Amino acid sequence: MPSAADAVLEFRKVAKRYGEQVVLEDFDFALDAGEKVALIGPSGSGKSTVLRIAMTLEDIQAGDVRVHGDYLWRDGRPADRTATQRLRAHLGMVFQHFHLFPHLSVLENLTLAPRLVQSVAAADAEAAARELLERVGLADKADAWPEQLSGGQKQRVAIARALAMQPDIMLFDEVTSALDPEMVGEVLDVLRELGRSTDMSMLLVTHEMDFAYQFADRVVFMDGGRVVEMGPPKQLFDQPREERTQQFLQRVRTR
């Protein structure tokens, strides 16, 4: 195996196509324990698909995906339902458009899954949920409804909801892209705090280059469904080796 022994999430030769259109081809990548990795690249490069495959929201046509060494996908085929559920429990995901449950209060958004999936007692789930809301700065919103929150608040609730399941790998899919500019900061602050205070592994797709530069241990530049180049942010942003990386960075910087 070419991978590091302590990879928590590993993609090997993964191929993803929609009919004729190739989204990922020969995609290799490993996320190490506790590592914070930013996936960057032009739209359509397959970044979000990587996260969605790990969360089993998309199927693949070829390759392996492993979580803590166990196969979630093997040779393009999914693991059985029991294994999938067990492995998925390691992962938490936050979406660009939040996807809060609009018919449940903020508190219920956080307690539903722990109660139903992990059989946590109602009182314990609520205590844990209130603690998480406190952590994302929304302790006073426990009884609010999602529709009463601003975009930034919704996204912080969505982060807390994912954390309530105590995953050890967090996937962030362009979590600030749908926000008004003045709300981007509050969500990034939550991510920074998470990065500092936990040893969770984090894989994030982002267009916030400054944030990626400061936050990530490693930055992966993708284009055309493959990894073009990766490395520590300083190296990738300041001395990109590949021409495609240089072009991309030039374009996003001049904007």
Partner 1 sequence: MIWNWDYTWQVLPDILRAFGVTLQATLAGFALAAVLGLGWATARMSPWRWLAASATGIVEFVRSTPLLIQLYFLYYVLPDYGIALSPLVTGIIALGLHYSCYTAEVYRAGIEAVPQGQWEAARALNLSTRATWTRIILPQAIRPTLPMLGNYLIAMFKDTPLLAAITVMEMLQTAKLTGAQSFRYLEPLTITGVVFLVVSLLASWTVRHLETRHAIRR
φ, ψ for residue 62, nearest 5 deg: -155, 160
Q: Candidates 12-20, 30-38, 90-98, 197-205 — which segment interacts with partner 1 by CB under 8 A? A: 90-98
Compare residues 15 and 165 and give the one whose CB is closer to partner 1: 165
Question: Which residue in the block uniquely carries the two structure tokens 């920074």?
Answer: 192
Alpha helices (H) in 44-171, listed in sequence order: 47-54, 81-88, 106-118, 122-135, 151-163
Which CB sits closer to partner 1, 39 or 100? 100
8 A C-beta contact, residue 144 and residue 110? no
Decide whether 33 or 113 has the Cβ nearer to partner 1. Answer: 113
Q: Which residue has the tokens 């995901």?
A: 93
Residue 231, helix vs strand vs coil: strand
DSSP 146: G
Q: Is 112 in the site for partner 1 (CB under 8 A)?
A: yes
Candidate residues 7, 100, 133, 169; the one interacting with partner 1 per rule CB under 8 A: 100
Cα–Cα nearest to 212, from 194, 239, 233: 233
The interface region with partner 1, picked from 28-36, 100-108, 217-225, 229-237 by CB under 8 A, is: 100-108
The stretch among 27-35, 95-103, 126-134, 204-212 that binds partner 1 (CB under 8 A) is: 95-103
Among 1, 4, 116, 121, binds partner 1 (CB under 8 A): 116
Among 9, 24, 50, 91, binds partner 1 (CB under 8 A): 91
Span of 65-73, 111-119, 201-209, 211-219 interacting with partner 1 by CB under 8 A: 111-119
Q: Binding to partner 1 by residue 89, rule CB under 8 A?
A: yes
Distance CA 19, CA 17 (A): 6
38: β partners: 204, 219
Asked if 219 and 237 touch (Cβ cutoff 8 Å), the reply is yes
Q: Residue 77 CB, nearest distance to partner 1 (Å)?
A: 16
Q: How far is the CB of 42 from partner 1 (least distance, A)?
A: 23
Question: Is residue 201 helix, strand or coil?
Answer: strand
Q: Which stretch binds partner 1 (CB under 8 A): 41-49, 91-99, 124-132, 174-182?
A: 91-99
| Three-class DSSP category at 16 | strand
> Where do contacts with partner 1 occur on this chain (CB under 8 A)?
55-57, 85, 88-89, 91-93, 95, 97, 99-103, 112-113, 116-117, 161-162, 165
